[in-house]
Amino acid sequence: MQFTPMAPNCGVEASGVSLANCSDAEMQAIKQAIFEHGVAVFRDQEFSPEDHIAFAKRWGGIDINNYFPLNDAYPEIALVKKEADQQTNIGGAWHTDHSYDQIPAMGSVLVARDLPPSGGDTLWAHMGAAYDALPDAIKQQIEGLEAFHTADHVYKADGLYAQTDMGKELRGQDMKTGAIHPVVIRHPQTGRKLLYVNGGFTIHFVGQTREQSLPLLQKLLMAALTGDNQCRLEWRPGTVAIWDNRTTWHNALNDYQGYRREMHRITLSGEALAA
């Protein structure tokens, strides 16, 4: 198995491995690559729904998604889909999944099932590289700072998605979410310092209002998206991507109007985060 960088500071593409039949040693190497590089891409995989679930269980626990429609036959698998007549897609802005949970999910295993002829690429950005590139003055400013995260403004009955043609597809509109996490965390496996705020779910810093928080929060969000810090995946049939929510943000591009796209996602359980 070999790993080839996708960009200077984010992502690797793996070759020479079958995810459905990988050895324990290969699984450990895959985990380490994802912890370090944020996302790993695997091409030309024969990966049935049963394989998808079995692989995720070998990794660790599975978190059942509370919002997306689920596969009727395999409820561990969430359907990330957009029909040809819909305008809105799921995840079409920079974010990291589940930062609004007390124990955020580790990451996801996403499998391409039905792709448009072109478009629908996914971008990732590395939050270790983002933190490293911050000016020392901002690093000092955010040391020890905590932030409040929630998804209520996105998923509730009067939230952002409910106002779109995607709203009727979603579940969990009566749920209430909210969690406080350090703005700078240490990766539980690598120990690397990571910037842990995102534009989708981070609302304000603890002890500050939204308005007071926005100037610094916007500085952090802008600083996280430098060119070398991002990688881009062009999906093809048989492609699987696995990413680490602690290490990365991601963004699903919505540039394939008039075509259907369906991806199968399993969310991997995480652990409590620490400064």
Kindly list the domain boundaries of the chain, sorted by start residue.
2-268
- Segments in the chain below pLDDT 70: 155-157, 159-161, 167, 172
Q: What is the pLDDT of residue 155?
A: 67
What is the three-class DSSP state of 217?
A: helix
Query: What's the pTM?
Result: 0.95
**What are the DSSP calls for 9-48, one per residue?**
SS-EEEES--GGG--HHHHHHHHHHHHHHSEEEE-S----
What residue type is assigned to position 142 of the chain? I
CATH code linked to domain 2-268: 3.60.130.10
Q: What is the pLDDT of residue 176?
A: 82
pLDDT one-digit tens code per residue, 131-189 = 999 999 999 999 999 999 998 877 666 766 677 777 677 776 777 889 999 999 999 99
Q: For residue 255, give the H/E element and its range.
A: none
- Our separate counts of H helices and E strands in the chain read 6, 16
Q: What is the pLDDT of residue 170?
A: 76
